[in-house]
Structure 1
Amino acid sequence: MSTKIKHKKAAEVMTDDGSMSLTGHLRELRNRVLVCAVVFVVATVVFLTISDRLVDLLTAMGLKANYTFVFIAPQEKLIQYFRLSLIAAVVVTVPVALYQIYAFARPGLKKNERFFFGLVLVFGLVLFCIGVLFAYSISLPFMLNFLGSLEGTDYITANISIESYLNFCLLVFIIFGVVFEMPLVTIILARMGIASPELMKKGRGIAIVLIFFIAAVITPPDIFSQTMVAIPMCLLYFLSTFLSRIFYKPRFGLGDEDEDEEEEDED
């Protein structure tokens, strides 16, 4: 009886030509989503137990800048503890989710597509982490010291709401994480035949002006914060120009057809 059930399940998952059926794909997708959900729930519970350490990790920079933290609503402090725990759980879940996406799509990709897809996922995750670390170790401490040392009326003191402070820190982390994705975007555009090395060189002047404009829009209204964002963006643009030389591929080049023919022959 159990053997018949196993054969029935196998028939539902696989089609006659040996490929996976729609039911099989849906089951695989369900299992992969379930893995991500379990990781998120477990990570949330773990981070809730150490949420005070997460808050200490972020407020340490403000304490060095002589900030005094307060909460102006009865539930504000508790909500921030839960909020940081959820964000930390998302950070842990993202790499797992990216791997599940890659594993789900991998059977339907060609060899060069699998390599490029995996490179995009890993490189994008690494760049985002580097951007956040850069913000935490360099940019954010300078911003907090600069904003806290502004001269003004003596009776105005820096009693910062813990919610406002954490919002500012998370905003800076997200900005730098996204900004550091510029080389990845360039690689994708170069691979599509859009961002050529010649185009990157010719647009260097316009790009620098746009970078400072974007930095002025996405950062707090002070020149120091804008400069701290614009300078890394300019350096990343130069890195992106170098990467475009490596990954640039003309849209209608013969290389695509040759590669496809070679892969078909191998199959």
Structure 2
Amino acid sequence: MPLDQIEEESEMGFLDHLEELRWHIIRSLIAIVVFSIAAFIAKSIIFHTIILGPSRTDFWTYRMMCELSQVLQLDALCIDDLPFTLQSRQMTGQFTMHITASFVVGLIFAFPYAFWEIWRFIKPGLYPKERNATRGATFFVSVLFMIGVSFGYFIVSPLSINFLAGYQLDPSIINEFDIISYVTTLVMLVMGCGLLFQLPIVVYFLTKAGLLSPSLMIRFRRHAIVVILLLGAMLTPPDPFSQVLVAIPLTALYEIGIFISKRVTKRELSTEIIANE
């Protein structure tokens, strides 16, 4: 076969892959747009109930903390006042935030489908052994993402908003936050936790690639706990209860990562033994 024909077929194959990727991305964007439009239409539910929920004392997390304070007889846990008001200081502030928040909500709800579409493009390029090893990737990634988003929304965000709302340099300074600042903070905390909860998946693939081992994770376990406590201190009010409340799930994720790394390493060793025999 002439060289120019081989190059032409190779180029056409590459273009075909690009075309396939383009359609996967288009379908993912369509899903995001559909959910975003639905969120845009359901303005009262998305904003009043969901986005502005952590800014009111009747939010689920604050009510549970008050009930817990009665059981533990710790009045400090009960949050009955959030000393701040929300404002829109720009002419297009509310409309712009309406569009932005709707897109973020659409992205969160469409994430499982969007990831499935991208995974459909990646999966055919894997070896049969790698396909078997990554079976259920879409399910686990989506579940961990949703758990992380829920953790960020119901735990991290209310505690952080309560701390930031009550923090004052001087009593004469009134906390009047712009709606853009409030929503941006909420989105960063929620999406950050959603990505942070992908730690077990990252550990799995790094162990499969030989870049991470259970012994290494165990050796740096104490360092990881210190980092987790620092994260808890940065994301929550400066009280031990809130820090522990955030640190426990993150520590559990690290321990799950060690368990996953051990299983992957053990499986790889068994495969090598069988292959050598």
| TM superposition score category, shorter chain reference | 0.7 to 0.9
Matching of residue 100 in structure 1 with residue 100 in structure 2: no
SS of the equivalent of 2:177 reads strand
Aligned length: 239
Distance in 2 (CA, whole Å) between partners of 1:84 and 1:118 is 33
SS, match of residue 210 in structure 1? helix
The equivalent residue for 2:105 is 88
1:174 is matched with which residue: 191, 197, 200? 191
Instruction: Name 1:156's counterpart in structure 2.
Output: 173
**1:223 and 2:216 equivalent?**
no
What TM-score, normalized to structure 2?
0.72
Aligned with 1:237 (options 230, 249, 254): 254
Quote the offset at 1:221 in angstroms.
9.0
Which residue of the partner structure matches residue 69 of structure 2? Answer: none
Could you give the per-residue CA deviations for residues 59-103 of structure 1, whole angstroms, max 9, x where no partner exists? 121122533211111111111101111112222343222212222
**Map 1:181-192 → 2, pairs under 5 A:** 181-192=198-209
Q: Secondary structure at the match of 1:248?
A: helix
2:131 corresponds to 1:114: yes
- In 1, distance between residues paired with 2:221 and 2:172? 46
Q: Secondary structure at the match of 1:160?
A: strand
Deviation at 1:143, TM superposition (A): 2.4
**Is contact 2:156-2:235 (8 Å) kept?**
no
Check whether the contact 2:200–2:256 (CA below 8 A) recurs between aligned residues: yes
Q: What percentage of aligned pairs have identical amino acids?
A: 27
| Residue 207 to residue 256, structure 1, CA distance change in 2 (3 Å) | same
Against the structure 1 CA distance between its residues 27 and 150, is the aligned structure 2 distance closer, same or farther, given a 3 Å change threshold? closer
1:62 aligns with 2:77: no
- Report the AA paired with residue 53 of structure 1: I
- Find the counterpart in structure 1 of residue 271 from structure 2: 255
Structure-1-length-normalised TM-score = 0.74
The letter for the 2-side match of 1:36 is: S
Q: Deviations over 1:216-263 (max 9, x none)?
A: 6xx469635766654432232122122222122588x5725957x9xx
Within 2, Cα distance between the matches of 1:146 and 1:210? Answer: 21
- Is 2:203 the counterpart of 1:203? no
Deviation string 1:3-31 (CA, Å, 9 cap, x unpaired) is: xxxxxxxxxxxx9xxxx945544443343
